Amino acid sequence: MDLRAYQQEAVSAIYRHLRERDDNPCVVIPTGGGKTPVMATVCKDAVGRWKGRVLILAHVKELLEQAVDKLHQVSPEMWMKTGIYSAGLKSRDTEHPIIVAGIQSIYKRACELDAFDLVIIDEAHMIPPDGDGMYRTFLEDARKVNPHLRVIGLTATPFRMKSGIICAPENVLNHVCYEIGVRELIVQGYLCPLITKASREKVDTSGLHVRAGEFGACEAEDLMDTEQLVESACREIVDQTRMRRSVLIFSTGVRHGQHIAQVMREKFGVEAGTVFGDTLDFERERMLSDFKAGKLKYLVNVNVLTMGFDAPNIDCVAMVRPTLSPGLYYQMVGRGFRLHEGKENCLVLDFGGNVLRHGPVDAIRIQEPDRRGGGEAPAKECPQCQSVIAAGYSVCPDCGYEFPPPEGQKHDATASTEGILSGQATTAEYEVQEVYYAVHQKRGAPEDAPKTMRVDYKLGFNQYQSEWICFEHAGWARKKAEAWWRRRSNALVPETAAEAVTLADAGAIAVTKRITVRSVAGEDFDRIVGYELGAKPPYREPGQDEEETEYASADSNDISA
């Protein structure tokens, strides 16, 4: 299995952290972005290259099964070196170099499992902040067996389900060594784009009591489980998903979930399955199998199908519940992140005000416990089409509605400086640390469609800017690609993206020292408008004129290519 560029960077960041620091690192990769291949690669290296022993910990059997599967994909020879210790999977292996274990099964058995050099914790945000939880109990005993034990965490959310950052000097995990965001992976084509709509009928959660950082379960269910709200939500779900294939619905409780399924069947004529904590195993397996196969379009659950549930066909997530938990909010929306054949995007229907409460899923606002949360929301709802968008938009990108300017800020100079209003632009210059080249094919395009050369400029820790050079296209796009190449290289202009990547990797183009990036509020992507280049390398194709191989340096203010 070949790692994606960001996955390899995550592996390198882990090794660098373990080499340079004496505390425990954490890697943050979004749901659907591929944490398990990173974990499997670390295991392969630890056992194969460094003769160590590794324990992988998770809290649900689905994650254990995924870990074992990816280990075998990364390195088939790992099959004979991997054991499973899990009551749920009916296995109690103890002597393999790699043990994949459920924390519930082994947290009191550290001595029985013998010494480990490395413990990898999947879904690391489940580690409690303090006290004598299962993870802490196990790790304390494991360090008695091997005082030099190191711990690595992997998670999609570097904060706990209720609140609070998971990395701190006093915690099990101490530092985020690598992080890549949802938006970056969507732009790169590894995650599915999201469309967010708020409900037409609003709920008022101001009267709900908060217990342990979350709305009281019974009060929240009573609030949401009224005939009017359920029927309104079901009508909107059916209306909005006529062209959707697989709709996952989150309810506030079992009673509420059963009510939703009943209304979907009796009043709107569509079948809706249900999966709750007490659903019998055989019934659950049948329901999930039908849902993943596309035989069942609507599936209602209560906090069951979050972590470890992998159904890439989900193209709509409906949150018919409010939550104060940024982690739960992320996990619910994250069920729709994965790519799937024929799936252009995932629609998120929010009936609980969660997007407005927590912000866009790629920029979740984390509050300290017990804070009521003042200030401007990081997202807002369009009153015309119910799209939930970033707060900086002045014009809705979906329907064109123009938001009135904020009171008292019509002449605020900082708005112009920071590009808050739609159409306002800012530019920034960045030093380029590294440049990566790859052949890019538009997802879903036919095999013979023109490909492009993707160029990724690394600007800082986990900060990149990309551009696409269209060597295989015709007309203006090809001419722009030719100009781009000639500014950087003495080699003949490539005919294909693959040829361009090969030449670039061989050192045929000038080093990019700095780039200037232009950002326009309301536009999805930033654009490179200037470069500072080094000298063209002394590279010449056979038969190429000497005149074409003169050394040159690009103007730092060049914005044409």
d(Cα 267, Cα 317) in Å, to the nearest integer? 21
pLDDT category of residue 393 using cuts at 50, 70 and 90: low
Q: Is 510 in contact with 489 (CB distance < 8 Å)?
A: yes
| Helical residues (DSSP H) of 49-191, grouped into ranges | 61-74, 103-106, 110-113, 134-145, 182-187
pLDDT over 50 at 409, yes or no: no
Query: What is the residue extent of each domain of the chain?
Result: 5-186, 192-404, 427-549
Q: What is the pLDDT of residue 50?
A: 87
CATH superfamily ID and name for 192-404:
P-loop containing nucleotide triphosphate hydrolases (3.40.50.300)
Residue 105 contacts by C-beta under 8 Å, 6 or more apart in sequence?
85, 86, 87, 88, 92
Indicate if 192-404 has the same CATH topology as 5-186. Answer: yes
10 pLDDT higher than 80:
yes
What's the pLDDT at 128?
76
Q: Which residues pair with 240 in a beta bridge?
A: none
Residue 289: per-residue pLDDT: 93
Tell me the pLDDT band of 411, cut-offs 50, 70 and 90: very low
Q: Is the pLDDT of residue 170 over 90?
A: no
Sorting pLDDT into bands at 50, 70 and 90, what band is 226? very high
Q: What is the predicted pLDDT for the residue at 427?
A: 79
Whether pLDDT at 525 is above 70: yes
- Name the most confidently modeled range: 152-166, 373-387, 455-469, 532-546: 455-469
Percent above pLDDT 70 for the chain: 81
Q: What is the pLDDT of residue 267?
A: 95
Three-state DSSP at 254 gives: helix
State the pLDDT at residue 539. 65
pLDDT at residue 374, rounded to an integer: 41
- Of 113-122, 211-220, 241-250, 355-364, which gets the smallest average pLDDT? 355-364
Region 5-186: CATH code: 3.40.50.300
pLDDT at residue number 210: 87
Task: Report helix, strand and coil shares of the chain as percent, to nearest 5.
Answer: 30, 25, 45
Give tens-digit pLDDT for 90-144: 888 888 999 999 899 998 998 889 999 999 998 888 887 665 688 999 999 999 9
184 vs 410, higher pLDDT = 184
Q: Which residues of 296-318 are buried (b: 16+ CB within 10 A; e: fewer)?
A: bbbbbbbbbbbbbbebbbbbbbb
Given a cut of 60, whether residue 541 has pLDDT beyond it is no
pLDDT, averaged across the chain: 82
* Residue 419 pLDDT: 31
- Alpha-carbon distance of 91 to 89, in angstroms, equals 6
pLDDT for residue 424: 52
Does an H or E element contain 39, and which? helix 35-48
pLDDT at 69 over 70: yes
Average pLDDT over residues 407-423: 33
* Angstrom distance (rounded) from CA 28 to CA 7: 11
Could you read off the pLDDT of 274-307 as tens digits, one per residue?
999 889 989 999 999 999 999 999 999 997 877 6
